[in-house]
Amino acid sequence: MLTAQEIITLELKANEVRKLIISTLLEAKSGHSAGPLGMADIFTAFYFNILHHDPKNPEMEDRDRLILSNGHICPVRYVTMALAGYFPIEELKTLRKINSRLQGHPHRSALPGLETTSGPLGEGLSQSVGIALAAKMDKKNFYVYCLTSDGEHQEGNTWEAAMMAGKYKLSNLIQVVDRNDIQIDGTTEDVMPLEPFKAKYEAFNWATIEVDGNNIDSFLDAVHAAKAIHDKPICIIADTIPGKGVSFMENNYTWHGKPPNAEEAAKALAELQVIEEAIKRELQ
């Protein structure tokens, strides 16, 4: 259990992540905005509280594995990893540039701390099931955390992986679904409805937990509850606000796959600065 001050410190860190996402996307002039901003709280919770990991020894054998299936939101992962000490923050300026280690989709062999190469949607859960099953067979105790998008659940191979995880009762596998309700062409429920989403996972013999993905305290509680389940895989359905923290991006699917221009970035950073000042007042 974290103190109120520790939670506020994590909230400040998440806001710092959002500011760096905006600056990084502006420098790249390419990339996704809405998803990374919406997942800043969850990535902050992982890299600064949940994960058993060591940026100075990213290949340590008993580390937790964090698999990012929806690789297009990688700006939030890159920023959080840089703040955690995996590589210099200055390197964020190379996002999507020629010969950069920080490409538009993560490349496993390019950067320490990446477990998989991601890009084609729907593959991450299958990869995670394989890693979790191998860990069970080898009697390893680490957790496999798989971060997926809601939109990629329109892919059939996601459900094949879910079926296999249920069969083998992979309780060392915790999936976090970014349930932000948008994809590149509109809302998920307009493009290809997913509901009843929770019931579908339960039908595949998963435990399910629904949580506000933009509330760090609640998300940490959800992960703690997931770790107490020992007879099946766990799906945390995290309701998030795409574009969180930037008023003109929030819940707007047109920001799924585009970066801000200079004027938009300045406005976004000004709004995030106001949020930062409000959070800091809670520490006083």
Residue whose C-alpha is closest to residue 276's, from 3, 22, 2: 22
The predicted model gives 246-270 an average pLDDT of: 97
Q: What is the spatial distance between Cα 177 and Cα 180, in angstroms, rounded to a whole number?
A: 9
Res. 284 pLDDT band, cuts 50 70 90: confident
Structure tokens at 110: 């390019």
Given a cut of 90, whether residue 193 has pLDDT beyond it is yes
Given a cut of 90, whether residue 39 has pLDDT beyond it is yes
Residue whose C-alpha is closest to residue 83's, from 15, 178, 7, 6: 15
Res. 283 pLDDT band, cuts 50 70 90: confident
Structure tokens at 165: 């995880």
Task: Encode pLDDT of 136-190 as tens digits.
Answer: 999 999 999 999 999 999 999 999 999 999 999 999 999 999 999 999 999 999 9
What pLDDT was estimated at residue 119? Answer: 80
- Asked if 40 contacts 21 with a C-beta cutoff of 8 angstroms, the reply is yes
Task: Encode pLDDT of 270-282 as tens digits.
Answer: 999 999 999 999 9
Task: Encode pLDDT of 214-253 as tens digits.
Answer: 999 999 999 999 999 999 999 999 999 999 999 999 999 9
- Strands (DSSP E) along 39-105, which ranges? 65-68
CA 29 to chain centre: 22
Domain ranges of the chain: 4-283
Q: What is the spatial distance between Cα 59 and Cα 71, in angstroms, rounded to a whole number?
A: 21
Structure tokens at 206: 């998963």
- Hey, CA dihedral for 222, 128, 25, 240, is it positive or negative? negative
Task: Encode pLDDT of 94-144 as tens digits.
Answer: 999 999 999 999 999 999 999 999 988 999 999 999 999 999 999 999 999
Given a cut of 90, whether residue 23 has pLDDT beyond it is yes
Task: Encode pLDDT of 66-103 as tens digits.
Answer: 999 999 999 999 999 999 999 999 999 999 999 999 99
CATH of 4-283, one of 3.40.50.970, 3.20.20.70, 2.102.10.10, 2.60.120.620: 3.40.50.970
The predicted model gives 195-212 an average pLDDT of: 98
Q: What is the spatial distance between Cα 45 and Cα 223, in angstroms, rounded to a whole number?
A: 10
